[in-house]
Amino acid sequence: MEGTGNTYDFGARIYDSRIGSFLSLDPKSGSFPFQSPYIFASNNPILFIDKNGEFSVEVHYEVAHKAAIKLGYSKEMAHKIAYMASTYADMPSKDIMPMALGTINNGKHLEYGQFGVEFGKGKTADSQLDDSEHAKWHSMRSTQDVKDGMTSEQAKERGMSFGIDMILSAAKTGSIEDLGQGLHTLMDADAHEGASMEQHLGKNKHGHYTKEAKQMLYNDQFGETKDAEKWSKAGVAIFGILQGNQDVIKKLTDKNGNIQLDLSGISDANIQKIQTAISEKGVKNVQITK
């Protein structure tokens, strides 16, 4: 009756793509009295995924937090790094914030005001603007970039280069804000693949997302995060190595005393920048996988 491909079994619930909602109550609905118990991904599939149909999880936070924990950072520092890689770097609108409550860490990681981050203030306040500078922060193309002939590959590489530069700068200054922004951009290089704003969020004359936008939003929700996780870990590792963090270095050191750094998928030009920074810092025995 539903038709092929119209419903999806998330395990906890069944999702109907025709109406954009689940067919039964959210089993965690008691934690979300401010929103419908049937909605998908807090009604914001750009920012959230919906694990097993139970609750929303902010992807950037989860990936960065996991990388920091794996590399030996404390829970407190991992939280700060992940917060800067998500809320700070993305600066989503205030109306999204209430819908995030009740997710990872009871949603506290998404609330503005932590670590001095306030909505509408600071470097990333205009993160979502459709211009070249802000599109670069998300490894995407602005409308003007498309008109100027920029390809998706060029936009992806521009974003990754910006991300690496931010991480190297953060390593010199100790800025967790810059580290977070760099990590966010690297993760977006995997998620967006240099897409344009129109491709990613385009709507038709009826106000509905285009077929291409739906496909990209679907990828944001359910797409493979393998490269995002790898590049996020690489970014945290680079920061830790250059900061001389012995916990991070220990986690990366093999039985032969070599520091293993996986930079596969990162361009030779960006790897050269990383190698130069490591050499200038005087760190030895770093083996890079390309």
Q: What is the pLDDT, as a whole number, of residue 175?
A: 97
Q: What is the pLDDT, as a whole number, of residue 29?
A: 47
Looking at per-residue pLDDT, the higher value among 10 and 151 belongs to 151
* Other CB atoms within 10 A of residue 94 CB: 10
Q: Residue 113 has which token pair?
A: 């005001």
Average pLDDT along the chain = 80
> Between the ranges 19-28, 135-144, 219-228, where is the mean pLDDT highest?
135-144
pLDDT in tens, 46-91: 444 454 433 334 788 889 999 999 999 999 999 999 999 988 998 8
| Alpha-carbon distance values, 131 to 127, 143, 185 (Å) | 10, 7, 15
pTM over cut 0.85: no
Q: What is the pLDDT, as a whole number, of residue 1?
A: 47
Q: What is the pLDDT, as a whole number, of residue 114?
A: 86
Looking at per-residue pLDDT, the higher value among 195 and 162 belongs to 162
Q: What is the pLDDT, as a whole number, of residue 54?
A: 34
* Other CB atoms within 10 A of residue 19 CB: 11
Ranges of beta strands (E only) in the chain are: 7-9, 14-16, 21-22, 48-51, 55-58, 259-262, 286-289
Q: What is the pLDDT, as a whole number, of residue 214?
A: 66
pLDDT in tens, 100-155: 544 444 556 667 788 988 888 889 999 888 899 999 999 999 999 999 999 999 99
Residue 156 has pLDDT above 80, yes or no: yes
Looking at per-residue pLDDT, the higher value among 118 and 215 belongs to 118
Q: Is the Cβ–Cβ distance between 184 and 62 less than 8 Å? A: no
- Ranking 117-126, 151-160, 203-212, 278-287 by mean pLDDT, the lowest is 203-212
* Residue closest to 63 by CA, chosen among 216, 183, 175, 195: 183
Q: Which residue has the tokens 């990162």?
A: 266
* Residue closest to 217 by CA, chosen among 206, 203, 230, 205: 203
Percentage of the chain beyond pLDDT 90 is 51
